[in-house]
Each structure stands twice: as structure tokens, then as C-alpha cells.
Amino acid sequence: MRTVHFSGRLVGRQEETGRLAGLTAAARAGRGGALVLTGEPGTGKSALLDHARRTADGMRLVRACGSRFEKELPFAALHQLCLPMLGHLSELPAQHHDALRSAFGPAPGARDVSRVGPAVLDLLSRAARAQPLLCLIDDAHWLDSASSHVLAFLARRIAGEPVAMVFAARPAGAAGELTGLPGLSLSGLSDTDARMLLASLSHTAVDDQVRRRLVLEARGNPLALLEVPSAGGYAPLDTSSVPSPTERGHRSRIEALPADVRLLLTVASADPTGDAALLWAAARHLGIDAMASAAAATAAGLAEFATQVRFCHPLARSAAYRAAAPGERRRVHGALAAVTDPATDPDRRAWHRAQAASS
């Protein structure tokens, strides 16, 4: 994910960056250790791995990333991690050399996890003699079983080595092999930090009502705030950028709903204030059965309709907006312009009219 820093630190992640700094400092002093960062999508796990990479002065970086497409391939992720260090392969005793050749290459022999673990530990130890190692393992919830087993084995046996290992995983992915390793769960940002992050995303001002809604909807999720660009203070959603997997999941749920429900969600996503009175007025203008459609959207777990309209996941709003065709978005902005009071809110009315006229 895109990362935002203030004075060299991640916004709202002082505890996490402090733990990473302590881990790498200990490894440079010969006291290795591991840390498992867990959090829902968008909470900043990958950003923290990037921070560890940038701040690990004097350490050699090796990394791996789990993949759902390689989850059934034994040692796929472990091979990524070890590949930069295979120059030390000839230094290993025969049994370790043969175990790694069997795991990573065409050499004959069974791929025995119990043999590969000690061999990789030997490889890391030899590589770390020249320079302390920082091993970063992203998307650990997608690790193949053999790699997960070996990496967990390493994490429990590097205490006397100049090696630091940092895993990033979704909460469910931290179970199994990684259970019992030192961990840190990422919660959402505080409202203060969320507002600071939001303010950093644009040189233009975001009005207070829009800012409150964005902070409320994001629920501290940094990715949700990063994916809501602001322009002119009204925060339209960018339909040209590539949606995240989480957003695509919401979009598939939205596209399965009846037309009126989808249209009401488009209205809700197009209005940056979350003003329910404006939503109901625009729904009437469009001929939507608002109450029935709102009930269906709520039952689908996508949005809540009270005095303020709030989407039930940080990325559901952008999913609803992207799911609508360009012509439908223009129609919705036109309806919102029509029901916005030109006397009390002329700027917002003009903005909706401009969105309705855009190509």
C-alpha cells in the first residue's frame, strides 16, 4: 500500500515502529528474533515491512511473499527467501547441501521438511556472518505449508544469530505454524491520526462535514483513507485506479443486488456528506423505493441508514461508486444537484452539477 510519513515515521504507528527498531537493533547485536504483524486488509502491514526495510541500517534484506497461486507448491516462498543466499550453498555440509538441492532444484530425493529446516538455518547463519540479515515475509497467510513450517522453525531458533524475521499476516493466517511467535496486532488509527493522514493526501482543503464522514467510515483503516482522494473539498472517488481485492469482493456483492438497491448505494457513495435527508430526496427524484432499498442494502451488510449514511466497510463506498456505469453516476450527481439547496449550499450543488456534466 502507499505509505505516508511525517518526519520519518508512519502516522499513528509509534508502538509498531518502536518494536521493529528494537528487533533489528537486537539482531545487529547478535540477538536474533521474530515478530508477526497481524491485521485486517488495509491496516498497514506491508507499510510497516517497508518501514523496516528502509530503517534497517547495516542489514542485508531478504524477502518472500506468500501467494494464493503458489500455496500448493512446496517450498515456493522459502525459495524466494533463500535465493539471494544460495551463493553460500557450497559452504554447507553435504547433508544440508543435498537437502536444499532437493527442495529447490532438480536433484533427486524426497523433499523432507525436517531436513530442510536445519539446512536453511545453517544457510542463514553463514550468510549473516558477513552482514546481519533482515527477513521480511509478507502475506504469510498465503504461505505454502512446507515454507510455513520451515520459516516457523527458523523463527524459533535464531536467538543466537544476527537475524531478524518479520511476518505480516491476516489474523486467521497467524494461526497454525506461526502460533506462539511474538506478535503485534494492528488496530485502526485513532481519529486524530486518521484526520492527520487524511490531511496529508491533498493540498486542497476538505470541509469538516466531509472529513468527519470519511474518518467515521474508514474506522481507522489507513488504506481506506489513502484510497479516497480529495478534490475541491468534496472527495469524489477515483474510478480510474485499480480496486483492491477487498473492494472487488464488495463490488461483486453489490452487483448481485436489485437495480434499485444498487442505485441507492450509488447515490449514497456519490454524496460525500452522508446526509440522509439529501439521500432520501435524491432517491425520490430518481423514483427509487428508498425504504425497501435501504432495508435490502442494510440486510446485505453494506450500509447503515440513520441520520447519517455510513457504509459498513471502509472500501464499500468506493466499490458502490465504481460498480455504477459512468452514465448512471452522472444521473445520480444530477439528482443530488437537483435536491441540494442553491441558497444554503451553492458550492456543493455546483460541484454535483459539474460531476453530472463530466464525461
d(CA 298, CA 62): 45
- Burial of 145 per CB tally in 10 Å (0-12, 13-18, 19+): middle
**Nearest CA to 5 among 55, 73, 59?**
55
129-148 pLDDT, tens digit per residue, is 999 999 999 999 999 999 99
Amino acid symbol at 184: L
Q: Which residue has the higher pLDDT, 198 or 341?
A: 341
Domain ranges of the chain: 5-185, 191-357
**Nearest CA to 272 among 218, 211, 354, 326?**
211
Quote the DSSP letter at residue 308.
B
Q: Which residue has the higher pLDDT, 228 or 318?
A: 318
d(CA 60, CA 358): 50
Q: Which residues pair with 311 in a beta bridge?
A: 303
The three three-digit cell numbers of residue 329, written as one number: 453516476
Burial 282-307 (b: 16+ CB within 10 A, else e): bbebbebebeebbebbeebebbebee
Q: Is the dihedral of CA 256, 257, 260, 265 positive or negative?
A: negative
162-210 pLDDT, tens digit per residue, is 999 999 998 876 667 888 899 999 888 887 887 777 777 654 556 676 6
Query: Quick check: pTM over 0.85?
Result: no
pLDDT at 8: 47
Confidence of residue 30 (pLDDT cuts 50, 70, 90): very high
The set of residues, in sequence order, having a beta carbon less than 8 Å from that of 296 and lying 6+ positions away, is 257, 258, 261
Other C-beta atoms closer than 10 Å to the C-beta of 74 total 18
User: Which CATH code fits 5-185?
Assistant: 3.40.50.300
2-16 pLDDT, tens digit per residue, is 444 444 457 888 889
Give me the DSSP letters along 259-275.
HHHHHHHHHHHH-TT-B
